């Protein structure tokens, strides 16, 4: 078997295993809370559009795997820690679900959470707003006050501490389920895999009528 086949099969298997969950309307991922709410709608309805086998993603996976092996060997850290919480929204039950990249424990108590971000190019303006928000969601769910974003790029290897901020996760869930933030950030549509089928970036601004 070629190495490329192994990498492709790994990515495909991971995607197929998650497919049922990806299309389950009662599941809200932590990343759904920190991005355009319409992306969740498109993922549920057209899941196959989200499957990608790109070198940058494979590289990101390999960095996560390598770091996880190295850091968990110290005994203090666990990787890919599943976090979930249930919410009731207008009589329907939703599950907020995520996987924190690296969590440090003191005994059985989580004390520090790290999100690993790989980038193609370095950026001078770090941390990125949506990464910080994502980490704060994990800090709220795990009840930890210490958080770090670890950025890895060809010329960057930097740890940025993130301060705990109490979030209203219930309101964020509601905002996501009712698709009230589309897009969440001005730059999102440019990089979005659903932009070809999404009407939102094409909406004409209503012409302004001058008062007569
Ligand atoms: S194109 Fe823009 S509004 Fe539409 S799903 Fe993507 S980010 Fe959201």
Residue 143 token pair? 């009840």
Q: What pLDDT does 209 receive?
A: 52
Q: What pLDDT does 140 receive?
A: 98
Transcribe 141-155 into DSSP letters: HHT-SEEEEEEEETT
Transcribe 69-137 into DSSP letters: HHHHTTSSEEEEEEEEEEEEETTEEEEEEEEEEEEEEETTEEEEEEEEEE-SS--SS-S-HHHHHHHHH
Distance 33 CA to ligand 1 centre (A): 14
Distance 142 CA to ligand 1 centre (A): 30
d(CA 22, CA 70): 30
Closest ligand 1 atom to residue 198 Cα is: 4
Distance 50 CA to ligand 1 centre (A): 13
* 139: nearest Cα among 103, 86, 105: 103
Distance 111 CA to ligand 1 centre (A): 35
Closest ligand 1 atom to residue 200 Cα is: 3
**In the chain, where the domains are located:** 3-199
pLDDT per residue as tens digits for the range 73-104: 999 999 999 999 999 999 999 999 999 999 99
Q: What pLDDT does 210 receive?
A: 46
Provide the residue count of the chain.
Answer: 212
> Which CATH number applies to 3-199: 3.40.50.300, 1.10.10.10, 3.90.320.10, 3.40.50.1220?
3.90.320.10
Distance 129 CA to ligand 1 centre (A): 18
d(CA 161, CA 150): 9
Bridge partner list, 152: 118, 157
Closest ligand 1 atom to residue 37 Cα is: 8
Our mutation pick for probing the ligand 1 site, out of 31, 35, 38, counting the most ligand atoms within 8 A of Cβ, is: 38
pLDDT per residue as tens digits for the range 126-147: 999 999 999 999 999 999 999 9
Which 8-state DSSP code applies to residue 194? T
pLDDT per residue as tens digits for the range 153-209: 999 999 999 999 999 999 999 999 999 999 999 999 999 999 999 999 988 655 555
* 104: nearest Cα among 56, 72, 127: 72
* 69: nearest Cα among 79, 83, 59: 79
Closest ligand 1 atom to residue 193 Cα is: 6
Q: What pLDDT does 1 receive?
A: 87
Q: What pLDDT does 212 receive?
A: 40
Q: What pLDDT does 207 receive?
A: 53
Pocket around ligand 1: residues whose beta carbon is below 6 Å from it?
36, 38-39, 42, 182-183, 188-189, 192, 194-195, 198, 200-201
Distance 9 CA to ligand 1 centre (A): 29
153 within 8 A of 122, measured Cβ to Cβ = yes
Instruction: Please tell me the pTM assigned to this model.
Output: 0.91
Q: What pLDDT does 60 receive?
A: 94
Measured by CA distance, the residue closest to atom 4 of ligand 1 is: 198
pLDDT per residue as tens digits for the range 36-80: 999 999 999 999 999 999 999 999 999 999 999 999 999 999 999
d(CA 51, CA 15): 7
Q: What pLDDT does 211 receive?
A: 44
Q: What pLDDT does 124 receive?
A: 72
């Amino acid at each position: 078997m070629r190495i490329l086949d192994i990498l492709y099969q790994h990515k495909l298997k991971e995607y197929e295993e998650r497919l049922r969950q990806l299309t389950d309307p009662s599941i809200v991922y932590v990343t759904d809370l920190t991005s355009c709410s319409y992306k969740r709608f498109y993922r549920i309805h057209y899941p196959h559009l989200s499957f990608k086998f790109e070198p940058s993603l494979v590289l990101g996976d390999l960095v996560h795997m390598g770091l996880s092996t190295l850091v968990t060997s110290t005994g203090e850290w666990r990787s890919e820690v599943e976090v979930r919480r249930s919410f009731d929204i207008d009589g329907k039950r939703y599950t907020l679900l995520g996987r924190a990249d690296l969590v440090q424990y003191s005994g059985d108590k989580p004390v520090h959470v790290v999100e690993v971000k790989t980038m193609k190019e370095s950026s001078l303006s770090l941390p990125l707003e949506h990464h910080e928000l994502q980490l704060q969601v994990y800090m709220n769910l795990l009840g930890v006050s210490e958080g770090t974003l670890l950025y890895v790029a060809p010329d960057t290897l930097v740890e940025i501490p993130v301060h705990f901020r109490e979030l209203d996760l219930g309101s964020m869930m509601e905002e996501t389920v009712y698709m009230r933030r589309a897009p969440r950030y001005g730059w999102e549509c440019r990089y979005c895999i659903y932009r070809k089928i999404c009407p939102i970036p094409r909406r004409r601004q209503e012409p302004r009528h001058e008062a007569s």
